[in-house]
Every structure is written in structure tokens, then in C-alpha cells.
């Protein structure tokens, strides 16, 4: 059984964990890898998004997909709000089309749960948590030196889902 966490932003990521909490798959949606990621220029690569979830599902049963619900923020412009909602809607539709179980969770809910008692701000907490709980999950690749916070958030979402599902067997 696997739990999948998805940060749906253009610089988001996908992380799948087995029921013991070990990563089984990781993908990124970073614009700096358009030939491999989900974003080609400014458009989402929907075929690649579907392919990633299908490949994960082929490796074993998917117990839950945890997708971070997107919402408009007062300081964002109209086009930013549309882009944010568009990516979330694509992932939501793909998960439903593949008939995978979905938990659509707000960032406030999963961060409150996952970051309880952690020091730091924003993305640094996500990176620190994944570094501690999922040390085998690489947040950098190639010449990249800075950890990819889309992957760390996806890892946190998968961990949140693992806690939600609980022990199996």
C-alpha cells in the first residue's frame, strides 16, 4: 500500500510512501526541468501528471492521495489565483479519473498537524521535517544545491496521509 502526497503548484512535487513510511517514488514539477516535469513553459504537462500517478499505482495499491487544497490569498493577483486553482483542479480531476482515494486538505490543516512543536518558519520547517523523518528522500538533484520545497511539502503531505490512514494489518 502507498500514500501519495501532492503539492500541486508549478514548483510543487509528488511523493509516494509505502505503509512503513519509506519513499517509493518522487517527482517534481519544477519549471527548471520542463522536459521531465509537469510544467512546459507556462502550461502544465497533463499527460506527464497522469503518467506519474499511473506509474505509482502500478507499483502497488494506493491507499490514499493527499492533495493540498489551493485557495486565493488576498495579496495575490487575479492571474496568480487562476493559475493556483488551475493546477489544483488538474490534479483533483486526474486523481478522480484514476479512481484513487483522495483527501483534499487545506495547508492550514496539514501544517498545524505536521509542524506542531517545530521551530522555524515556512518552507524551512518542511525541509527540516522531511530531512528528519524521510532521510532517504533527496530534495536536491543534479547541480541543484538548494532543497526543493515542493518535494518537501509533498513529503509532508504524504506523512500526513500516513498518519491519517494509520497502521495497516
34: buried, middle or exposed (CB in 10 Å: 19+, 13-18, 0-12)? middle
pLDDT single digits (tens) 48-98? 889 999 999 999 999 999 999 876 556 655 555 566 678 889 999 999 999
8 Å CB contact between 11 and 31 = yes
Cell of 149: 520545497
Cell of 61: 495499491
Eight-class DSSP state of 35 = T
Choose between 8 and 27: higher pLDDT.
Answer: 8
Q: Rounded to whole angstroms, how far apart are CA atoms 68 and 107?
A: 6
pLDDT > 90? residue 145 = no
Q: Which domain holds residue 44?
A: 2-165
Predicted confidence at residue 74, as pLDDT, reads: 62
Predicted confidence at residue 83, as pLDDT, reads: 62
The CATH number of whichever domain residue 146 belongs to comes to: 3.30.420.10
Q: Average pLDDT, stretch 90-108?
A: 93
8 Å CB contact between 68 and 107 = yes
pTM summary value: 0.84
Percent of the chain with pLDDT over 90: 32
8 Å CB contact between 159 and 101 = no
Cell of 112: 498545524
Q: How many structural domains does the chain have?
A: 1
Predicted confidence at residue 165, as pLDDT, reads: 82
Phi, psi dihedral angles at 168 (to 5 degrees): -115, 140
Amino acid at each position: 500500500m502507498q500514500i501519495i502526497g501532492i503539492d500541486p503548484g508549478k514548483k510543487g512535487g509528488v511523493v509516494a510512501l509505502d505503509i512503513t513510511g519509506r519513499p517509493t517514488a518522487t517527482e517534481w514539477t519544477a519549471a527548471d526541468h520542463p522536459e521531465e516535469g509537469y510544467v512546459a513553459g507556462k502550461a502544465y504537462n497533463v499527460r506527464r501528471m497522469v503518467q506519474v500517478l499511473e506509474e505509482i499505482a502500478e507499483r502497488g495499491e494506493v491507499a490514499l492521495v493527499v492533495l493540498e487544497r489551493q485557495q486565493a490569498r488576498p495579496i495575490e493577483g487575479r492571474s496568480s489565483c487562476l493559475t493556483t486553482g488551475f493546477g489544483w483542479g488538474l490534479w483533483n480531476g486526474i486523481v478522480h479519473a484514476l479512481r484513487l482515494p483522495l483527501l483534499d486538505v487545506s495547508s492550514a490543516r496539514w501544517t498545524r498537524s505536521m509542524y506542531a512543536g517545530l521551530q522555524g518558519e515556512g518552507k524551512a520547517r518542511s525541509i527540516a521535517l522531511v530531512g528528519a523523518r524521510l532521510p532517504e528522500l533527496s530534495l536536491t538533484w543534479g547541480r541543484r544545491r538548494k532543497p526543493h520545497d515542493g518535494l518537501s511539502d509533498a513529503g509532508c503531505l504524504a506523512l500526513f496521509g500516513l498518519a491519517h490512514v494509520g497502521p495497516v494489518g
